[in-house]
Each structure stands twice: as C-alpha cells, then as structure tokens.
Amino acid sequence: MSKDPSLFTRQTERELKRIVFSREEIRARVLQMAGEITNAYGPGDEILVLGLLKGSFIFLADLVREIQRPLQVDFLVASSYGNAMRSSGDVRLLYDSEASVKGRSVILVEDIIDSGTTLNRLVPLLEARGPRTLEICALLHKRVAALDREPRWVGFDAPREFLVGYGLDYSENYRHLPFIGSL
C-alpha cells in the first residue's frame, strides 16, 4: 500500500462523479453553525448534543468543539438504510442514549435528511422524555422529506444525489473523506 496520501485521494476522486462540498466550505459552514448555536443558548442552559451514528460523528465532533457553551455529548444509533442506497422505511433503534433528556436543551445532530423517516421516528420518542427544548441540527438537507419538525440549523441544501464523505457512507465506505462527494 502506498504511503502517498494524495494517491489515495486521486483514486477515490476517480470513483466519484464530483465533489459537492469541499473541505473548506464544510469548515466555514460548521464554524458559522456553531456560532448560531452558541448564540441560541444562555450560559446556564443544560445542553445535551445527541449525535445520530454513524454518519454524524465527524460533523458532530467538529461542531461541538466550536460551540462556546458547556455541553454534554451522547449518541443514538438508528438504521433505515443497511447496505442500500435508499431508505427501507423501517427505522430500527440499535443504541439508545443513556443520558437523561428531561428538562434539558437537546440538539439532535443528523448528517443528512433524506427520506425523513429516521427523524420522524426519533423526534416523538425524544419529546416523550421531557426535554426543555428539542432542536434538530443537520449538516445536509435534501428538502424532499415530509418532516414532522424541520431542523433549526442546516449546513447545506443537498442535491438529490447519493452523497459520501465527511461521515456519510455507502456500505461503510467513504466516511473518512474530508469533503462530500457524489457517487
């Protein structure tokens, strides 16, 4: 295996149709969103950031490092894709957060809103647990879903293409890419 990282990137880029959002565009937008979130909460708010794994992990890590408020992080694992390029419509909660949401300001962080199936299942489940507030933050939104609740913060409107990179995958591949590309 070659130790030249540029060779790997060139090979990966040949598999993609195009780069949709560059590393620089993502970084700038994440900083802007973190500022918006910081300004939305007071210093005394108990913020719990819940990341939807696996796709949100890179976005969530970059985002929470830039939010200028005390917060805690936990995760949920829900699946509706498996190894397919389309949602099955059947959402399975594979791992539930152990953190209490009762009385807290909760931010649910999603990598991409596509069919909306996952959010429409998880939002009522979390609301039933009694958070003070529940907001959604998504890196990408395809604007094709009929959502019960729209996200408060969206990084980018996404094209109706299958996107990978920056945490998004196809059959567990491409998550590590520092940009978002279209297969």
Active-site positions read: 114
Read off the DSSP letter of residue 159: P
Please state, in angstroms and rounded to a whole number, the distance separating the CA atoms of residues 73 and 152.
18
Residue 65 — φ and ψ, nearest 5°? Answer: -70, -20
- The strands making up 47-53's β-sheet, listed across from edge to edge, are 92-95, 71-79, 47-53, 105-113, 133-141, 153-157
Residue owning tokens 């009385």? 103
Please state, in angstroms and rounded to a whole number, the distance separating the CA atoms of residues 75 and 78.
10
Residue 75 CB: number of other CB atoms within 10 A?
19
Please state, in angstroms and rounded to a whole number, the distance separating the CA atoms of residues 79 and 146.
18
